[in-house]
Structure 1
Amino acid sequence: MSSIVRPGVAARGGAVLLFVGPLVAWGAELITAAAWQNPHYSPFYNWVSHLGLTGPRQVAFGQVADSPLGAVMDTGWVLYGVLLIVGALLAFDLRQGLRPITIVVLAILSGVGVSLVGIVQGSNANVANGLIALHSLGAQGVMLAGNIMVIVVGVNGAGIGLGRSRRIASIVLGLFGLVAFPVFMVDVFTGWMWNIGLLERAVIYPIMIGQVLLGRGLIARHISHRQPAAAGR
């Protein structure tokens, strides 16, 4: 299968951005969750997006929300989205046809989606003014586009330079996230809200893990391609 990734310094930078993006978001999540003291933040019970609320303490979507470092979480999501979009554009060669174009389009949809989550908070104020629609669109957009992207990356892994185990892992992660998505949505719309934070992460984390695997695989590919050239000098 022909390669669908670009060579050169810019593409290596894109690989690093794809790898780093999810780590930035995870780092922001850990810092923000650690600062949330009253009540104690639970990754099983609490909404992920509540970490990004920067306003006063409030009861939003059935949960008490009080995130002292909400701006840190919002910044992490926006940076993640930007790094994902720029990284994909740098790493993939759009001249190679539908396969890289599909991956880049899904990366853009995912990046815009997660950035919207950070820009438009899931607050009571945004529920009242209608902007919550943008927050929900961003969240559901990244959940769908992100998991589909991870699957497409796995299916086209040979053209990306990913090993067999990494390709299989990518497909399994994306399928897991897509299966978890309707379960999460049922939990939301029925009002049951059982471990909503856990189910939300069951949809989101496979995307992030898959993108870390993609970035790491691309970095390894560029390193392996540089070593023979260096040896021949």
Structure 2
Amino acid sequence: MSTIVRSGTSARAGALLIFLGPLISWVAELITAAAWQNPHYSPFYNWVSHLGLTGPSQVAFEQVGNSPLGAVMNTGWILYGASLIAGAFLTFDLRKGGRPIVIVALATIAAVGVSLVGIFQGSNANVANGLIAFHTFGAQGVMIAGNVMAIAVGLAGSRIGLTRGRSIASTTLGIAGLAGFAVFMIDVFSGWMWNIGLFERSAIYPIMIGHLLLGSGLIAARRRETPAHLAPTAARAAT
């Protein structure tokens, strides 16, 4: 079965970028959340978007937000998006047709989405001036496209070079993330808003874990391959 990923240096660079993206975002999240003092940030109660609030303490989406290092979180989201889109284009061979095109398209939507979240904060000011539409589109875009991408990656796992275990895990994460997104939306539109941060993360974290699995799986697959320029030497040695 033919592969749908590139070979060589570009593919290795792409795999590393896909792997590093979620790690950058998680480090930014930990640093930003730790900077909250009054009130302290709760990953269960507070919206994820509130980490990106900048400026003085404010009320946004019925919660008090005070994120002294909001710029760190916003930078983390933008870098995540840039890493994902660059990694996808470097990794997948679009000349191979449908599957790589679908995966790269989903990665692009997710990458643009997470970057928009970092550029347009979920603040009351942006609610008033209408820019919150970009934030909302970005957040929901990454939640849907990112999880569908995890399913697409899992289904194409053998052609990507992923092991069976990683392929199943990626598909499972995508399904779980879409289910989490549905519960999150119910929590929002019902007005219940119970542990909104927890349910929001149930839709986001499966995507990030999926990217870690994809990136590390691609790196492992590249290591299993014999570099093309060494193939003649290996053949002569075998004879």
Category of TM-score, reference length = shorter chain: over 0.9
Structure 2 residue aligned with 1:147: 147
In the TM superposition, 1:198-209 aligns within 5 A as: 198-209=198-209
Once the two structures are superposed, the pairs formed by residues 1-233 of structure 1 within 5 Å of their partners are 1-226=1-226, 229=230, 232=234
Comparing 141-150 and 219-228, the one that deviates more: 219-228
1:227 is displaced (CA, Å) by 7.0
Secondary structure of the residue aligned to 2:225 is: helix
Change in Cα spacing, 1:189 to 1:2, as seen in structure 2 (3 Å) is same
1:182 shift after superposition = 1.3
- Matched residues in 2 for 1:55 and 1:149: separation? 35
Structure 2: which 5+ runs fail to align? none
Residue 67 of structure 1 aligns to a residue whose secondary structure is coil
Distance in 2, Cα, partners of 1:185 & 1:133: 16
Given residue 221 of structure 1, which amino acid in structure 2 is its aligned partner?
Answer: A
- The 2-side partners of 1:178 and 1:96 are apart by 28
Where has structure 1 moved over 4 Å in runs of 4 or more?
Answer: none
What is the CA distance between 1:226 and its match in structure 2?
3.7
Aligned-partner residue type, residue 220 of structure 1: A
Q: Give the share of equivalent positions with the same residue, in percent.
A: 69
> Aligned AA for 2:178?
L
Secondary structure of the residue that 1:42 maps to in structure 2? coil
Q: What 5-or-longer segments of structure 1 have no aligned partner?
A: none
Aligned-partner Cα distance in 2 for 1:123–1:226: 51
Tell me how far apart the structure 1 counterparts of residues 106 and 140 of structure 2 sit (CA, whole Å). Answer: 13
Structure 2 distance, partners of 1:68, 1:88, is: 33
**1-structure distance, mates of 2:64, 2:188:** 16
1:139-167 deviation line (CA, Å, top 9, x unaligned): 00000000000000000000000001100
- Structure with greater Cα Rg: 2
TM-score for both structures, normalised by structure 1 = 0.97
How far did 1:56 drift?
A: 1.6
In the alignment, residue 41 of structure 1 is paired with which amino acid? Y
Name the Cα RMSD after superposition: 1.3
Post-superposition CA distance 1:177-215 (Å, at most 9, x none):
001111101111111111000000000000000011000
SS of structure 2 residue aligned to 1:122 = coil
Choose 222-231 or 16-25, whichever is displaced more. 222-231
In structure 2, C-alpha distance between the alignment counterparts of 1:224 and 1:175, rounded to whole Å: 29
C-alpha separation in 2, matches of 1:184 and 1:4: 34
